[in-house]
Amino acid sequence: MFGGPIIAREVVATPRSLRYYLWRASFSCVLFVLLWTAWQVIIGWQDVREVGVLARFGGYLYFMFAMLQLTLMLFFAPLFTAAAVSYEKDRRTFNLLLMTSLSDTEIVVGKLVAGLLNILIILAASVGLLSLCALLGGISFGQVINLFLVTAASGVAGGAMGLLIALWRDRTFQSISLTILMVVFSVTGVELLSVAFPTLRVLGVPLGEVLNPYRAMIAVLYPATTAGTGVVRASSLVYIGVRLTFAALIVAFGTYMLRKWNPGHNEPREQGDEAEDLIEEIVALEAPAEGEPVAVGVGADVAAFSGGASSGTDRGPAAKGSTRGTSGEAPFGPSAGPTTGLHVPRRTHRRVAAAQRPYRSPWANPILWRELMTRAYGTKPLIIKGCYALLFALGVGFFLSLGRGMANPMGSSLALIPVGLAILSLIMINAQGVTALTSERDTGALDLLLVTELSPGDFIYGKLFGILYNSKEMVALPLLFCGYLWWTGKVSGENLIFFTIDYLLLCHFAAMLGLHSAISFTSSRVAIANSLGTMFFLMTGILICSGLIILSDQVFGRQILSFMIFIGVGSVALFGSLGARNPSRAIALVSLLTPFWSFYCIISLLNGDFLAAFLFSVGVYGFALAAMLVPAVGDFDIALGRTNAIQG
């Protein structure tokens, strides 16, 4: 194929999976349910007798579909491309790909297409359904084309950004987390930039419509004049051109840096060189001064091994007479002179202090000790935490600046900002949870743990609390912000207690959901997609459903059928994610009740019934946490194959 063997393989292999057809059918079914919901909101069971009703329905449906597809594309396109590369790196197959005769361009472009192929095909599956909007009236076919071009351009640019981050970083958690943060920052950052420079234009188009995908989509939905409603508007052309140019520059830069970043030398994954350097430092520390006897220790042992294994040629003056048969003395006696024991120059720029560290004894739970007391995820997570803190500060500043002078900003639409920051924190914790186990499985470290005497409880609890400790900034900042709102009188003390308990419970739930998905699915990409997709559905899908109910005002009864279908489909999808591989009655009950109870909690919050929302949320997510935690501890050996029962 003209695109290269990577693209050819994806095109041939992708349709073989049943999941490929299920995703397409599921997305079309969700759009159809939303179509029915919108019909009940606007028309209901009455007969259509007015001329403009169908046109108004088509415009409303088009707006809802456009925003939903754009949100899904912005969220999943970067994650799919980042996960595709990170999966290869964890399984050590990406280095093998670099050793082939493929060019750098074929590798980078092939991985980009491989990550975007599924989601672009799912997007194309909705073309027929969205074409109904133009047939109903209210919009033109040019706006439908605009929708797909703007959405596809946003997905390509986001996929290129996720690909670049995955090529740069060696750890799956770092790639996924940075990708999520960059997706949020690409929307909030450019929105702040457009607010700061409202008069700035690019080729006659306002800066917000050029950089912010949501503003560009709104400009397509509601054109300023009727003269620009042809096939593609001018603002759409500028936005699409900027996005594709941005993607091309990222691909070019990633192609240039491919061999410099991979294989990376800044992560603990490549331990060979670091181990040799550590041996050199130890030997250098224990090397005797001239005329002193050689002490028996690590340095002498390594030196003896090196001297015995080396030939007698070109060992330098320090090694003369160090072998038997030349001087008849011991290999390393007092007359051997100072030596490092390794036949390479001493590297004085290395940190010699590392060799002076005392031996550290692990705790009774070595998994928890490793997670808390060592750099189990490298030093680069500091970049992630810094980006998260910056994004959180921008959100808080934006909330405080807009809410200045308002008596109750938490009772307005500004409350979506702290809610969005809390949801972002939960998604980051969930990403940490799922990659904490998938990375160890892909690198083979999990197989080593399974042959030890560690109990399932030690492993699960060590991982769970280690995840929360490594994500402590994501846990602490929303709590501190809520405490500030209580201090300034914007939140009552009762609601502060409710939020603190609820949020800590949701943090445990997000971390355990990641571990549960990693245990249930052996493929890292499937586990990450199921875990993050479940969080996305629970945190945003229910909000969308609640928004539709609010828009219906007092006519909820006429759309109860579509609501039940939507929640029912969500329950089935939730059971497929949580209990398809490890089914249980508790998981089935959680899948059935969680969407309904989550919806009830959101409606209770909107109505001001905070105690009911608190009790129901603690009940449903506490039970969901126990339903995943108890089988993980009890059936851990069976789930991962460390038991004699499944061997006959």
Q: Is the peptide bond before 263 cis (omega within 30 degrees of 0)?
A: yes
Residue 318 has pLDDT above 60, yes or no: no
Where helices occur in 488-635 by DSSP H, the ranges are 493-520, 524-536, 542-551, 560-578, 585-606, 610-634
d(CA 10, CA 12): 5
Could you tell me the pLDDT band of residue 249, with boundaries at 50, 70 and 90?
very high
Burial class, 500, CB count within 10 angstroms (exposed 0-12 / middle 13-18 / buried 19+): middle
What percent of the chain has pLDDT above 90? 9
Residues 6 or more apart whose Cβ sits within 8 Å of residue 128 = none
Q: How many CB atoms lie within 10 A of CB 387?
A: 17
* Mean confidence (pLDDT) of the chain: 75
d(CA 461, CA 324): 56
pTM: 0.75
Residue 89 has pLDDT above 90, yes or no: no
Residue 31 has pLDDT above 70, yes or no: yes
Residue 194 has pLDDT above 50, yes or no: yes
End-to-end CA distance of the chain: 47
Residue 584 DSSP code: -
Mean pLDDT is lowest, of 174-183, 475-484, 605-614, for: 605-614
Residue 195 has pLDDT above 90, yes or no: no
Distances (CA, A) of 176 to 122, 232, 266, 443, 529: 22, 34, 18, 17, 11
Q: What is the DSSP string of 363-415?
A: -SSHHHHHHHHS-TT-STHHHHHHHHHHHHHHHHHHHHHHTTT-S-GGGSGGG
Please indicate whether residue 149 or residue 330 has the higher confidence score (pLDDT).
149
Mean pLDDT is lowest, of 16-30, 84-98, 217-231, 627-641, for: 217-231
CA atoms within 13 A on the CB side of 516: 32
SS3 202: strand
pLDDT score recorded for residue 508: 94
pLDDT score recorded for residue 253: 94
Chain segment 392-408, per-residue pLDDT in tens: 998 888 888 888 878 77
- List the one residue out of 336, 355, 357, 335 whose CA is nearest residue 347: 355
Q: What is the DSSP string of 404-461?
A: TT-S-GGGSGGGHHHHHHHHHHHHHHHHHHHHHHHHHHHHTHHHHHHTSS--HHHHHH
What are the residue ranges spanned by the domains of the chain?
7-46+53-261, 272-311+332-356, 366-640
Structural contact between residues 154 and 164, judged by C-beta atoms closer than 8 angstroms: no
Could you tell me the pLDDT band of residue 283, with boundaries at 50, 70 and 90?
very low
Residue 333 has pLDDT above 60, yes or no: no
> What single-letter amino acid sits at 255?
T
Please indicate whether residue 532 or residue 607 has the higher confidence score (pLDDT).
532
pLDDT score recorded for residue 531: 87
d(CA 459, CA 453): 11
- List the one residue out of 84, 99, 96, 95 whose CA is nearest residue 7: 84
pLDDT score recorded for residue 501: 93
Both tokens assigned to 553: 């005002």
d(CA 60, CA 138): 9
d(CA 327, CA 414): 85
Could you tell me the pLDDT band of residue 274, with boundaries at 50, 70 and 90?
very low
Place of tokens 């680069």: 380
